[in-house]
Homo-oligomer: A and B are copies of this chain.
Amino acid sequence: MNNSEYRKKYEQLVSELKKVSLFGSCGSVLGWDEQANMPPKGGEHRANQLSLLAGMGHQMATSPELGDLIGELEALKSFDDSEEPEAVVISEARREYDRSTKLPQTLVEEISKVTSLGQQAWIEARKNKDFSAFQPWLEKIVGLKREEADAIGYDGGQPYDALLDAYEPGASTAEIDAVFTAFRAPLVELLNEIADSPVKAEAALLERSYPIDQQKEFALEAAAAIGFDFEAGRLDIAAHPFCSGIGPGDCRLTTRYDEHHFPGAFFGTLHEAGHGIYEQGLDSEWYGTAIGESASLGIHESQSRMWENLVGRSQPFWEHFYSRAQHYFPTALGDVPQVKFHQAINDVRPTFIRVEADEVTYNLHIMLRFELEQLLISGDLAPADVPEVWDEKFTESFGITPPDVSQGCLQDVHWGHGLIGYFPTYALGNMYASQIYNQAEKELGDLGQMFAEGEFLPLKVWLNEKVHKNGRRYKANRLVEVVTGESLSHEPLLAHLRNRFGPLYNL
C-alpha cells in the first residue's frame, strides 16, 4: 500500500517535473532565436515574452502542489542509497524547489527583463567601445544578483557561493579559490617558459583568407565526425557562440565566422559540438528529472573543452583532418606543412580575448573574472570602476593592457545576461576534462591512434556511457570521483599542458 502510494506519487512528481522542463524549454527556443535570428527591433517584445515565461515558469516551479508532492514522497520512502536514481530525482527536485521558492516572483521577472535588455545594451556598448552605455545596466544587474544571493542565502559570509551554486551545484568559492591558487604559480611558470622559448609559432598563417562557406562546411564535417547528430540539431551564427539543448532531439549550436581567423569558427564549433554531444547523450527517458539533465556547467565545459582542445588541437586529430583542411583551403594551406599548422593552432601568447585564448592563458582569464565577480558581489568593487580595475589586473597577469573596453571588460556576454558565478565553471571544466580524458585513455587504450585514423566514436560512446547517461545523478566533483576514482585536481590539466607545449616549444 505504502509502496503503491509511493509509486503513484512518484509518477505524479515526474510528470510535474517534465511539465516544468517542457515549459522552460519553450523559453530556450525564444532565447536561442533571440541570439540567432531576431531582428533588431524585436528586442523589446522578446524581453516582454521572456519575462512573462520566466514568471510563469517560476510560478510552476514553486507551486505549493509541487512542494507538497516532494514532501509526501520524502515522507513515504527513505532510500538506503541516496545516489539511487529515484532518490536523486526527489532530492534534486527538493533542492531546486527550495532554491526557486526562495526567489520572489517579482525578482525573477525583474532579472529576466533587465538581463534581456541589458544584453542588448551590452551588444551596442561593446560595438561602440562605450562602457558608460553599459554601466547603468551592470549596476542594475549586480544589484539584482546581490538581491538574489541574499534571497537564496549562504553559509559563512560568501554571497558569491549562492550564485555559484546555480551553475555548479555543491561547489564553493573557497574550494575553487584553493584549486585556482594552487594552479596559478605553475601555470605562470609554464607561461614564462614558453615566452622565453626561441620557438615562435607562425600564427599569421591562420589569418590568411579562409572563405566562410568552406569554413562552415569543414566545421560541419568535423562536428559530425566527432559524433554530433545533425538530424537532432543544427549550427547557426550568433554574435556570442553557445549551445542550447532545447530538448530531446533538438540541440542548437552557434558559432561566428571571420574570413581571416580560421580557429574562431572551427574550434568554436568543436567546442559547442562538445556541449551538444553531452546534451544529445542525456537519457530522454528521464527528461525533466535530474537524471536526464546535465550535472553542472563545469562538467558541461569539460565536454566542450575536451573536444575542442584535448582532441581538436591534438597532433593525431590533424593527422586525420589536415588533408581535409588543405582540401577546403587550398590557397591558405596548400604550401603549409602540417607541423607548422599544428604549431600555429597551439600558439601560446597573452592576448585580450578569452574565447580566443590558448589553452594555457585561458585559465588566467578565468581567474581574473572570478576575482572581479567576487568583488562586485561583495560590494567591494563598484561597477563604475570595472574598466580601470580590469585593465590594472589584466596588465598584472598578462603583461599587456587592453586598448579599449571591447577587448577588455566588455568582451563577454555573461554579465549583461546576469550570468555572474558562471565563469569559474570554465576553468573547472578544463580540469575535469583532463581528469576524465586520462581515464578514458586508461580504459580505451591509445586515443591518439584512434583519432589519427578518424575514429572518434569510441571516445564519444565512452563519454555517453560514463558521463552523459548519469545526468545529475552525481554532483560534479562526485561524478569525477565515480568516473576516475580521483577528486578535483589541477594536476592532470597541468600535466597535459606540459605534455603538449613542452615538445612544441622545446621546453
* Cβ-closest chain B residue relative to A28: B49
Could you tell me the distance between the alpha carbons of A246 and B37 in the complex, rounded to whole angstroms? 12
Given A25-B49, A37-B37, A41-B249, output 14 extra A-B contacts at Cβ < 8 Å. A19-B52, A23-B52, A23-B56, A26-B52, A29-B49, A37-B234, A38-B250, A39-B230, A39-B231, A39-B232, A39-B249, A42-B247, A45-B249, A46-B250
Identify the interface centre among A23, A44, A249: most chain B CB within 10 Å of its CB. Answer: A249
Copies in the complex: 2
Q: Which A positions have Cβ atoms within 8 angstroms of B? A: 19, 22-23, 25-26, 29-30, 33, 37-46, 48-49, 52-53, 56, 229-234, 236, 246-250
Contact B233 A45 (CB under 8 A): no
Could you tell me the distance between the alpha carbons of A44 and B232 in the complex, rounded to whole angstroms? 11
Known: A33-B29, A42-B246, A42-B250. A52 touches B22 (CB 8 A): yes
A-B contact pairs, 12 of them (CB 8 A): A19-B52, A22-B45, A22-B48, A33-B33, A37-B234, A37-B236, A38-B250, A39-B249, A39-B250, A40-B231, A44-B249, A45-B248
Contact B247 A49 (CB under 8 A): yes
Identify the interface centre among A19, A25, A37, A234: most chain B CB within 10 Å of its CB. Answer: A37
* Cβ-closest chain B residue relative to A49: B26
Could you tell me the distance between the alpha carbons of A45 and B288 in the complex, rounded to whole angstroms? 12
Could you tell me the distance between the alpha carbons of A45 and B250 in the complex, rounded to whole angstroms? 8
Could you tell me the distance between the alpha carbons of A40 and B250 in the complex, rounded to whole angstroms? 8
Could you tell me the distance between the alpha carbons of A38 and B247 in the complex, rounded to whole angstroms? 11
Contact A45 B247 (CB under 8 A): yes
A494 CB to nearest chain B CB (Å): 39
Contact B41 A22 (CB under 8 A): no
* Cβ-closest chain B residue relative to A247: B45
Quick one: which of B23, B40, B41, B249 contacts A42, CB cutoff 8 A? B249
Could you tell me the distance between the alpha carbons of A234 and B34 in the complex, rounded to whole angstroms? 13
* Cβ-closest chain B residue relative to A250: B42
* Cβ-closest chain B residue relative to A284: B45
Q: Which residues of B contact A247 (CB under 8 A)?
A: 42, 45, 48-49
Q: Which residues of B contact A25 (CB under 8 A)?
A: 45, 49
Identify the interface centre among A29, A43, A232: most chain B CB within 10 Å of its CB. Answer: A29
Contact A26 B22 (CB under 8 A): no
Q: Which residues of B contact A44 (CB under 8 A)?
A: 248-249
Could you tell me the distance between the alpha carbons of A23 and B54 in the complex, rounded to whole angstroms? 11
Could you tell me the distance between the alpha carbons of A246 and B42 in the complex, rounded to whole angstroms? 9
Could you tell me the distance between the alpha carbons of A4 and B38 in the complex, rounded to whole angstroms? 40
Contact B33 A49 (CB under 8 A): no
